[in-house]
Amino acid sequence: MRRDWRDTISVAADVALVGIVVTAASVPLVTAGAALRTGSAAIRAITAGEGVDARALWRLFRASLLPGALATAAAAAVGLLLASDIGAVAAGRVPGGAPALAATAAAAAVLLAVGGLGVVHLGRDTSRGAWPHALAWAARTAWRHPGAAAAVAGVPAVAAALAALIPLTAPLLVGYTLYALHAVTIRLVRPVRIDQVL
């Protein structure tokens, strides 16, 4: 069934609104994990053609605050470590040169892919125990589908580049990044059920 252009504009507006809300909810930083999970669940509902239930999303956000804060802290620690490693290798402060820089960049891409796949899983499995399953599912999926993992890692990388070029679009890009993560995962990870729990 072909989608009417008004439906396309409506979906685009909904996705942009999700991005704005997720960005606003992430301002305290410790709420970023919960905001991303809630935004991912909203995107799943939009892509499925379902109505977005604001009360259910609010409950999901509140239930995700603690595990989301822990995930945000872990992601920030890993990100800072990788950034310092890349900076040290690029500046020549540690040995290894180009091979070490390439290996560190590859590790960063793998972690970005696992994180993106995990966010998609958390948007599709809104149960309380989904957090550890999401990480396990994302790691297994990245291993079994390296092409999909590369595409998933590329989505936030492209979004970050666009946000750096046009900073005012950053809140909108959050929603479109979540949308693209869902679309890429659905298209490229067909053999694995999205809601599969290990």
Q: For residue 143, what pLDDT is reported?
A: 92
Q: For residue 195, what pLDDT is reported?
A: 46
Using pLDDT thresholds of 50, 70 and 90, give the confidence band for residue 82: confident
Q: At 137, is the secondary structure helix, strand, or coil?
A: helix
DSSP state of 50: P
Please state, in angstroms and as integers, the Cα–Cα distance from residue 190 to each residue in 40, 165, 172, 186, following that order.
19, 34, 28, 6
**186: Cα separation from own chain's centroid:** 14
Using pLDDT thresholds of 50, 70 and 90, give the confidence band for residue 194: very low
- Res 168 pLDDT > 70: yes
Q: For residue 92, what pLDDT is reported?
A: 72
Neighbour-count burial for 48-59, b at 16+ CB within 10 Å, e otherwise = eeeeeeeeebee
